[in-house]
Structure 1
Amino acid sequence: MATTMRGRLGLDALLTHQPARRRATEGEPAGGSALEPTPHTGVLDARHRAGFPRPGLGAAFVTHPHVIAHRATPSNGSIRATALRYAAWGWPIAPNRASAPSTDLERIFAAWSRTPDAPIMAACGIAFDVVEADAALGRTALIRLDRLGVELGPVLWTAFGCAPTASAGLGDSDPRARIGFLVRVGTAAALRALIDPGTGPVLLGSGDRVELPAVLDQQRFHRAGIPSGPRWLRAPGPERPAFPAAHVVLGALALAPHRAFATI
């Protein structure tokens, strides 16, 4: 039983502080105490060296993933803080296309500490797939789905497509602007054979990557002065979002008229 419990606590040890045990010491001054090291001391020291706050004596050290994201830097709008939030939701990400995507919070913290301005590249086919469409068509489909009361997952906007080859865009008026619907994993890739390449929506799944917005809050996005980077039209919430199946989005896109709507 003890072995089983130790195995279950393996991951928790990385995310929660185990209070040090006090022990009596001969000759200890009145009111004082010594601290007996715990098996997790090395983890806490590593967190401190990486920039995480060290817990004070007797203080509760909260290291829930979302709290880590909030406390990662003085500014919660930093790219690193946003990357930590995505990873905490189970979205594998990397700071470039060459690096292996990960959800490990320590690894994410270190990666964006080294390259704080790096984009957030997410791997498709693990936590979600993506249905990408022309921005005008995508906005029309989004309005239709909202009116029908369809529960959607996150929806993002980008100037050069969700899997871009360029690093900058021209803004909302760019005809290359695209909208990406995050959908249930595996459902987009399964329908690829039904879509002729270059003639309709792009279905992204295993092996593809998308660039995610560097900030979650839309108002903070505008204050940051990012005119053409990816941004959320429907931002993900604090809990793991529910993704619709790809065919739900494809059906709305098939019925959507080819006309632009005002920015949502």
Structure 2
Amino acid sequence: MGFTIVGMRERRTPRAPTRTGRRGAGGSPLDTAVAEYVGLWGWDVTPGAVLVTGQAGCRCSCGRADCPAPGAHPLAPGRLIPAGTPLDEALDAWAEARAAAPGATALLPTGLRFDVLQVPEAVARAALPRLDRLALPLGPVALAPDDRAWFFVAPGIAAQLPSLLRALGWPATPPRLAALGRGAQVPAPPSAVADLGEVVWLRRPDVETAATPPGASPLLGVLATLCRRLAPTG
């Protein structure tokens, strides 16, 4: 079987993966996470390349000497484990990906189920208690070990970011605030980022926030303000 599971399944209410699969009890934390993302949260997962360290330095597991994004892209176009894939099939597809590329990451494609607002770690950590005090709706929040934090928001927001910021009184995008939509992806916890460490959840998903992530406003206003105050340029 290839990496692609044939046929996109109609999205239904996310259901928790059962632990009856033959790899269920002995899998790694990332194996378990992939089954959770596909079966419980209703997200697609793409096996991703990994940065390999050797005598000649670091190289991407894809083998391309001129790789434009070493260790930070899908293994190949179309290699997707779709949301709703049965547990055994999802784990088989993921096991095959890991066998072909040991240490492969699990990437979450943006633009379909959710978009992502990307900010530095300091901004994310300052924003969370403020958002809690304001009782603002909040989706999942992930943190990478290379000073990137991702707020999961409703799909379509990345394309609207400039107009959304203008509506909030921002003529230009604040430093280090970015939005990821169609064609992008983020590594899912607990995937490794190069040799820096693993991606972790600052706020874990739940059934409601995974299925219906919040809109950008007023979350975007809080992040934009904190980016201006806390995020160095560059």
Q: TM-score range by the shorter chain?
A: 0.5 to 0.7
The superposition leaves residues 114-171 of structure 1 with CA deviations (integer Å, 9 ceiling, x where unpaired) of: 21642110110111000000111121122210111112111000123xxxxxxxxxxx
The superposition leaves residues 59-81 of structure 1 with CA deviations (integer Å, 9 ceiling, x where unpaired) of: xxxxx642148874324653122
- Report the Cα distance in structure 2 between the residues aligned to 1:142 and 1:240, rounded to whole angstroms: 15
Structure-1 residue corresponding to 2:45:
93
- Report the Cα distance in structure 1 between the residues aligned to 2:104 and 2:27, rounded to whole angstroms: 16
What is the TM-score with the length of structure 1 in the denominator?
0.56
Q: 1 or 2 for the larger relative contact order (CA 8 Å, sep ≥6)? A: 2
Of residues 39, 59, 73 in structure 1, which corresponds to 2:24?
Answer: 73
What is the TM-score with the length of structure 2 in the denominator?
0.63
Q: Shift of residue 191 of structure 1?
A: 1.4
Structure-2 residue corresponding to 1:258:
229
Structure-2 residue corresponding to 1:124:
110
Code of the residue aligned with 1:110 in structure 2: it is D
Question: Does residue 184 of the first structure (1) align with residue 154 of the second (2)?
Answer: yes
Of residues 74, 80, 94 in structure 2, which corresponds to 1:112?
Answer: 94
| Higher strand proportion (structure 1 or 2) | 2
**Any idea what SS the aligned residue of 2:143 has?**
strand
Code of the residue aligned with 1:237 in structure 2: it is D
Structure-2 residue corresponding to 1:152:
138
Q: Shift of residue 108 of structure 1?
A: 2.6
- Report the Cα distance in structure 2 between the residues aligned to 1:181 and 1:199, rounded to whole angstroms: 16
- Report the Cα distance in structure 1 between the residues aligned to 2:161 and 2:94, rounded to whole angstroms: 35
Aligned length: 174
- Report the Cα distance in structure 1 between the residues aligned to 2:131 and 2:20, rounded to whole angstroms: 32
Structure-1 residue corresponding to 2:213:
243
CA RMSD between the two structures: 3.2
Code of the residue aligned with 2:94 in structure 1: it is W
**Structure 1 unaligned runs (5+)?**
1-10, 13-63, 161-176, 216-225
**Any idea what SS the aligned residue of 2:218 has?**
helix
- Report the Cα distance in structure 1 between the residues aligned to 2:125 and 2:135, rounded to whole angstroms: 15
The answer to whether the 8 A contact 2:119-2:148 is kept is yes
Q: Shift of residue 248 of structure 1?
A: 2.5
Structure-2 residue corresponding to 1:234:
203
**Any idea what SS the aligned residue of 2:229 has?**
coil
Q: Shift of residue 214 of structure 1?
A: 2.3
Code of the residue aligned with 1:153 in structure 2: it is G
- Report the Cα distance in structure 1 between the residues aligned to 2:123 and 2:172, rounded to whole angstroms: 17
